[in-house]
Amino acid sequence: MAPLITFDEALELGELTEHDDILALIERAWEARQERFGDSTDLCSLVNAKSGGCAEDCGFCAQSRYAEADTPMHAMMEPDQILEHAQAAEAAGAHRFCMVTQGQGLSKRDFERIVEGAKLVSEHTNLKRCVSIGHISPTRAKTLKEAGVQRVHHNVESARSYYPEVSTTVRYEGRLRTLDAISEAGLESCVGGILNLGESRRQRVEMAFELSEIDPTSVPINLLNPRAGTKFGDRELMDPWEVVKWVAIFRLIIPGALFRLCGGRVENLGDLQPLAVKAGLNGVMMGNFLTTLGAEPADDRAMFEGLGLKVARQPDNGANPRPDNRDGWLEGSAPATPIDELIDSQADANFWDPSTQLRVIKKKGKPPSYPPRPSEAEHEKQPAGWGD
Ligand code: SF4
């Protein structure tokens, strides 16, 4: 779907600082959201199924071997453990569940565990299934689809022009090839990035227009939660009004995507989280993030309900990967799906919990320095980790 504003308009909106002007922008974004999605929502949750000790150099990530931060580790989860965390996400009211692993790609054995985990989640919950497992080949994409996975997450992280500052070992071109494999297999894509890595306002706009070109089903935006000892660990949090402004601008540039806020939303937005929903979100990530803690399920549901949006479980979660598109939804025929027996607090279910499940390992000696920005030609080479 074409952007509702031009590149230059987006740049101008990016300069807004007065709260009244930002509120007017938010009203515009809210109308754009309502027109396309009505009162539907798309709430997700994740499990960090394999963490830490990653060979790559993504500058925001504490799992990188280049970070001076302690390493948040755990080995690849067993499929039934993945299912337990999925059941907690379902109890909280999440519509979909993402199985996430570190690194550019999985070994054959770890990939098989993800496939088995996805099958269990398909069989035993009413959740839609997503994975985020680094680069995947066309063959693996097909295998995931056959296992019941509906959507694959693979971020571009930042504007293409800024990307070499973010990672040199995970190539942007490789990301695009993975997105092609996802689309060829008939899977939905979830593609976004992180704001506040040091990119300029222009580069934020570039990123939004690049996402519009990629045209993913879902766009997750993270807000840097600076981790001490990482490349971007000394950056300040964003001003919450800046965040809501950029949420609204992204919504106007990518009006047809399911747009959600994920990591860093609690720390960067504080009390302005409901205003971010008004600025055009379809959902948030419920429960906890990969290595940091999130919000309580009842508070997240209340943010959406406060704006008259439906957060109820959807009875066809397993069959219809994108319920907002089903016939009749926008004409007011959303099925009656009463919320029963949803939990309010994370303490009431076996959520993925990085504060207890990650083993924090001190690095032995000084980690290697982050590699310098590569040349353009170097950056476009065939990605590593492309095998089956
Ligand atoms: S590939 Fe993933 S886990 Fe590894 S450093 Fe990059 S973001 Fe972190």
Tell me the three-class secondary structure of 282-298, residue by residue: CEEEECCCCCCCCCCHH
133 CA → ligand 1 middle, Å: 10
- The pLDDT of residue 235 is 97
- The pLDDT of residue 385 is 39
61 touches ligand 1 (CB under 6 Å): yes
- The pLDDT of residue 329 is 52
- Give me the residues of the chain with pLDDT under 70, please: 315-340, 375-388
Query: What CA–CA distance (Å, rounded) separates 157 from 207?
Result: 9
Would you say 85 and 346 are in contact if contact means Cβ atoms under 8 Å apart?
A: no
| Residue of 46, 50, 60, 64 with the most ligand 1 atoms within 8 Å of its CB, for mutation | 64
Burial of 357 (0-12, 13-18, 19+ CB in 10 A): middle
Query: What CA–CA distance (Å, rounded) separates 42 from 94?
Result: 8
101 touches ligand 1 (CB under 6 Å): no
- The pLDDT of residue 132 is 96
- The pLDDT of residue 71 is 84
Alpha helices in 15-107 (DSSP H): 19-37, 79-92
56 touches ligand 1 (CB under 6 Å): yes
Q: Which atom of ligand 1 is closest in space to residue 57's alpha carbon?
A: 5
Q: Which atom of ligand 1 is closest in space to residue 157's alpha carbon?
A: 7
101 CA → ligand 1 middle, Å: 9
229 CA → ligand 1 middle, Å: 15
- The pLDDT of residue 341 is 78
Query: What CA–CA distance (Å, rounded) separates 131 from 308?
Result: 30
- The pLDDT of residue 28 is 98
Would you say 310 and 334 are in contact if contact means Cβ atoms under 8 Å apart?
A: yes
63 touches ligand 1 (CB under 6 Å): yes
208 CA → ligand 1 middle, Å: 22
Angle at which helices 240-253 and 7-14 pack, to 10 degrees? 170
| Residue of 51, 74, 102 with the most ligand 1 atoms within 8 Å of its CB, for mutation | 102
- The pLDDT of residue 383 is 45
Would you say 72 and 354 are in contact if contact means Cβ atoms under 8 Å apart?
A: yes
53 CA → ligand 1 middle, Å: 9
Indicate which residue's Cα is closest to atom 3 of ligand 1: 102
Strand, coil or helix: 22 = helix
170 touches ligand 1 (CB under 6 Å): yes
157 touches ligand 1 (CB under 6 Å): no
194 touches ligand 1 (CB under 6 Å): no
